[in-house]
Chains A and B, each alone.
Chain A
Amino acid sequence: MPQVTLTVNGKSHTVEVEARTLLVELLREKLRLTGTHVGCDTSQCGACVVQMNGDSVKSCTTLALQAEGATVTTIEGLAKADGTLHPMQEAFREYHALQCGFCTPGMVMSAIDLVEKHPQGLSEHEIREGLEGNLCRCTGYHNIVKAIGAAQEVMHGRSATLAPAHAAE
């Protein structure tokens, strides 16, 4: 069986895979990193999004062998070692941007990439368009969009702390 060597959340792994093994299967089944989810089989839902070499990718549509030598970050690798959350994680919590949590890992990973690639800032409309590849059946997106809007201010250093959500907003 072919082997693939990759770094996931800062740790190097060498894993035997089949040629047809998907990156998401490697993460979930070989490395037991079950935070990355599978919500579809047509590359439509984004539940499987991870960062690979600094870009967000759908790990359900990436072969494990394509990740040879790659640096991968999953939802498990976002918080600091002391447990401090990434500003995007913090914003999702603050803005109630998750309900069942199933879309959340992919949503957070996509959102981080979206914000990182737009240092000039994103409007609400741009955030909504940027989330085209991620489905959420629970939230109606309203709070996800708000969370991303607030997180980008912190991520780009325009604000030291996350703007608090107001329940009656």
Chain B
Amino acid sequence: MNAPVVFEGIGASPKRKEDLRFLSGRGNYTDDINRPDQTYAVMLRSPHAHAAIRGIDTAAAAAMPGVVAIYTGAEMVVGSLPCGWLIHNKDGSPMNEPGHPPLAQGKVRHVGDIVAVVIAETRPQARDAAEAIAVDYEVLGAATSMAAALAPGAPLLHEGAPGNVCYDWHIGDLAVNQAAFAQAKHVVHFELVNNRLIPNAMEPRAAIGDYDRTTDQHTLYTTSQNPHVIRLLMGAFVLQIPEHKLRVVAPDVGGGFGSKIFHYAEEAIVTWAAARINRPIKWTADRTESFMSDAHGRDHVTKAKLALAADGKFLGLHVSTTANMGAYLSTFATSVPTYLSATLLAGVYTTPTIYAEVKAVFTNTVPVDAYRGAGRPEATFLLERLVDIAAKQTGIDKLELRRRNFIPADAFPYQTPVALQYDSGDYQSTLAQALKTADWDGFEARRKAAAAQGKLRGIGISTYIEACGIAPSAVAGALGARAGLYEVGAIRVHPTGSVSVLTGTHSHGQGHETTLAQLVTDRFGIPLSQVDIVHGDTDRVPFGMGTYGSRSLAVGGSAMVKAMDKIVLKARRIAAHLMEASVDDVEFDRGTFRVAGTDKTKAWGEIALTAYVPHNYPIEEIEPGLDETAFYDPKNFTYPGGCHICEVEIDPDTGAIEVINFTAVDDVGRVINPMIVEGQVQGGIAQGIGQALLETCSYDADGQLLSGSFMDYTMPRADDVGTLSVATHETLCTHNPLGVKGCGEVGAIGSPPAVINAVVDALRDYGVTHVEMPATPAKLWHIINSGRQLAAE
């Protein structure tokens, strides 16, 4: 096999291997799959936020054409959908963990909670029958907002959670923290809301349950980011199906952004019901259902104060957050405001003491869980707004204030006061590069030019860090994770030298089929076309933990490196045998085995063939075959960081706002495929701009979802997001073999504060210190208009 003519290894940007099928309509998404004799399920969902179920009459519905079965909570009595992360209260007691039945048991707790499943020959028949079910609800008072849920006498969601509190957690030494505030020259106070978001991957969730009575084999096809995790959670906790009888397939998945990590009720319902009716069952959400059943994101209310010395050095940070869990605990909900957020409150700064407390609250809303960035955008938004406010209050320039407090490039590894140890970074450099690219110095001229056109122009910056590459199992376990967080990579070298990689990570847009293949191309020296990545099927891939927390390359890629190490070692032994040399003398470099210092070589393909046709082979010493599996458990999180700069223009007459320039310089560690990294960052920034300017989930006081469709929930469209200038600045991760940090979430983490800082800067003459997200034209117009009235008075 010849070495690739065009370099396709680490650092190259070959076009994606997956694109041809997606561009030809040949993708294989869950709803595209049809099983023989398949039926269709429709979920009957609660129209009430909080109600007792007095009775369900399914008789009329059951008699309708095509109906195969109807099940309610009375029939489906199974385990609870589990929560994967145990948090402890300040007093050391465990959090309140009420059950989450897939089908409601006597009570519904949010609009969209599932009351019954109707299974019919066709989808329209199932839909018609669902409408004929009569549910006798006794409507209870709803606690939709956290304030309402925490108020005395609030409606109680769960018997096991008094006061609607899930946990009251903290981190840091309060006494040390208070001492720092006592020393402070300046104390800056700040209160904010991190707006609730609805992830809205473009592919609605779907699930197909399939059952073979003759083998007792269950198969679930599902829109998941982590099929093994679903198999574990559903098999072990909900339905008690042992792993060898349960196959979970996550085929092509149309975007996830966190929302497809979690184990959802519908997955358990179709798997359970398929075995009851002994026929396949397909369920596909319509978008209205997605809005009221996909886990939402963010939704924190925070009070913070920052202590500064006279020279602007940060002395201490104190943060109190209430975090909305929604009606039930989704799979990783509890970890988001705690270990994925409060531990990031040092940011890129040397703040010596940090104290954070988080109260997690149940409300009559859809469960809230990880959404792109998960906790880290909340921490970053708080910090980067707070630093800007502190700059204004102390009169120190906002860039200078950041620079004075940066962790210096020579201080790594750097232990923060909130548990994490950063391994590498160079914040001054990413800042300098971003300032230059964004022409920060030329901004005042641009502001004047805009003003001459009657526009308010503002510039905003954020210098952020995040922790991803989730996660060292022992560390996560000590903090409450109920699962290991390693990853698996199995490399199969075929007899003719081509390679299949089985990875436990899952690609739902990230381009793993290309990026992960590049690792193999780079190491083995075979063309990209000779490498295929297999993922998303628990029957084909060894147990892996899936894709979230920007972990696929840092953890999954590292597992592949370990497996490739084993293969190279074995291949060298085979080559040594063939060339009658000692193993230590055989070198391997991209496809060629060479006896050091000689011209004796063997090609990759020859060694692969020898491994499977072991005629001339050291059979006494090594087994035939060239197929290795490795599990990799990371030693630490990875710490991407960077600088985002946003420039906006506001029309004071209408409040209309435009993102004029957006510059990002991100340190994501070593870049394997620059084209894909850029795409990931651009996509993340668009979601960040969405959070900052457009998106918000809103409920009314009765718990009705007001932003329940794309007509009411403002998704970023092409003309809302301008040109995005994206670049990288590499410092290598020091503890994984690839030096990679992760790029999937940085865009969504770094961008919202840059946008809002720009908005506040644009409104500098209107006396505002903060604008809550989303900064919509209506909100801006009101600010500007009331400012004008003030000026006129």
Contact = CB atoms under 8 A, between A and B. Distances in A.
A121 interface: no
B455 to A, nearest CB: 17
Contacts of A36: 25
A86 to B, nearest CB: 9
Contacts of B718: 127-129, 131-132, 134, 136, 141, 144-145
Contact of B255 (A94, A99, A140, A141): A99
Given A37-B29, A142-B682, A128 B124 contact: no
Contact of B511 (A34, A44, A99, A104): A99
Interface string A85-105: 100010011101011111111
Interface stretch (B12-20, B324-332, B579-587, B616-624): B12-20
Given A39-B287, A138-B509, A85 B23 contact: yes
Interface stretch (B468-476, B596-604, B670-678): B670-678
Contacts of B674: 167-168
Given A33-B25, A137-B257, A132 B509 contact: no
B32 interface: yes
Interface stretch (A51-59, A61-69, A74-82): A74-82
Contacts of B231: none
A142 B682 CA distance: 7
B508 interface: yes
B112 interface: no
Interface residues of B, number: 60
A101 B507 CA distance: 11
Contacts, number: 184
Interface string A8-44: 0000000000101000000010001111111111101
A131 B721 CA distance: 12
A44 B23 contact: no
A135 interface: yes
Contacts of B610: none
B19 to A, nearest CB: 5
A96 B255 contact: no
B685 A140 contact: yes
B23 A137 contact: no
B536 interface: no
Given A44-B709, A137-B687, A140-B686, A100 B724 contact: no
Candidate in A42, A104, A141 with the most chain B CB atoms within 10 angstroms = A141
A76 B16 CA distance: 19
B478 interface: no
B711 interface: yes
Contact of B18 (A33, A39, A45, A101): A101
B201 A137 contact: yes
Given A99-B255, A99-B511, 5 more contacts: A93-B16, A93-B20, A100-B203, A102-B254, A128-B719
Interface of A: 18, 20, 28, 32-42, 44-45, 47, 74-76, 78-79, 85, 89, 92-94, 96, 98-105, 108, 124-125, 127-129, 131-132, 134-145, 165, 167-168
7 contacts: A76-B24, A92-B23, A104-B22, A137-B201, A138-B509, A140-B687, A140-B724
